[in-house]
Amino acid sequence: MAIKVENLTFKYPDGRIGIKDLTLNIATGKKTAILGLNGSGKSTLLYHFNGMNMPQTGSVEILDMMLNDSNLKEIRRKVGFLFDYPDHQLFSTTTYLDIEFGLDNYNFPSEKKDTLIKSIATKLDILDLLDKPPYQLSLGQKKKVAIAGIMVLEPDILVCDEPFSGLDYPSINFVIDILDKWTSQDKTIVFSTHDVNLAYEWADEIIIMEKGSIIFSGNAQEVLQKKELYELTELEKPYLLRLFENSDEKPINIEAAKFLIDKNIGGRK
């Protein structure tokens, strides 16, 4: 198990409860989506996965290490965190230096750094941006640079807060392709999102949060097909489920939907 949380409660300084007696397990090598409306506790929970928030009550275990002060540096080495706004983690004068920052933080040998940086930059198609200052980049380019700064450290878990917000469709597909290749190496991705369509089509597992608690969890497609989910929350059904509302078969992506349509049309000839 990549992450184990038991009876976690977190209160903000003003007394508001961000997380309420929450218990969950996140499997290794899976893409787990955390879905919920604003204020449901998604980001507050994610911040516990690399120690930006520390447990007040209950426990968080990351890769068999308890989240505490003595394990904090090692956990942050193994858990990369991608903020919703890349400007929050890009602050150097060049893209190259931003990617290098994490390597310096963990004392990577100087003779290996350049090779590592250029290798990850090539994979993310940002090699030609290494000499540019981050403020000159588009949002999509900034997100790629932020991802490069994380992946160059080869963490085991990637935690993303709204990783696709603000990106156009080609940029979303590019990032998804990179992350799919990453999880194929038995790496783990946990991400928050407002996008039920993305969660339905891309995630393996899903956690639905409301007011700091988990109200549904399990296989993403199975959970998002539950009628009671939409009776109890303000979430909107994924468009594929709305399109195939009256069908016994529910496609989980566009390709499956096309196949199902072709099959039904062929059956009527």
Instruction: Supply the CATH number for residue 168's domain.
Output: 3.40.50.300
For the question of whether the overall pTM of this predicted structure is more than 0.85, the answer is: yes
The CA distance from 190 to 146, in Å, is: 16
Q: Is residue 180 part of a domain?
A: yes
Q: Which has the closest alpha carbon to 209: 185, 227, 233, 226?
A: 233
| Inter-residue contact 82 to 158 (CB < 8 Å) | yes
124 within some domain: no
> Same domain for 18 and 74?
yes
Question: Does 123 map to a domain?
Answer: no
Quick one: which of 228, 223, 209 has its CA closest to 19?
Answer: 209
Number of domains in the chain: 2
13 closest CA partner among 45, 48, 51, 53: 53
Do strands 17-26 and 188-193 pair parallel, antiparallel, or not at all (unpaired)?
A: unpaired
Judge whether 144 and 175 are in contact, CB under 8 Å: yes
The tokens for 12 are 């903000």
Look at residue 78 and give its three-state secondary structure. helix
Could you tell me the residue range of the domain that residue 245 belongs to? 239-269
113 part of a folded domain:
no
Give me the tens of pLDDT residue by residue for the chain, a chain 269 residues long.
999 999 999 999 999 999 999 999 999 999 999 999 888 999 999 999 999 999 999 999 999 999 999 999 999 999 999 998 888 889 899 999 999 998 998 888 888 999 999 999 999 999 999 999 999 999 889 999 999 999 999 999 999 999 888 888 888 898 899 899 889 999 999 999 989 999 999 999 999 999 999 999 999 999 999 999 999 898 999 999 998 888 878 888 788 778 778 777 755 54
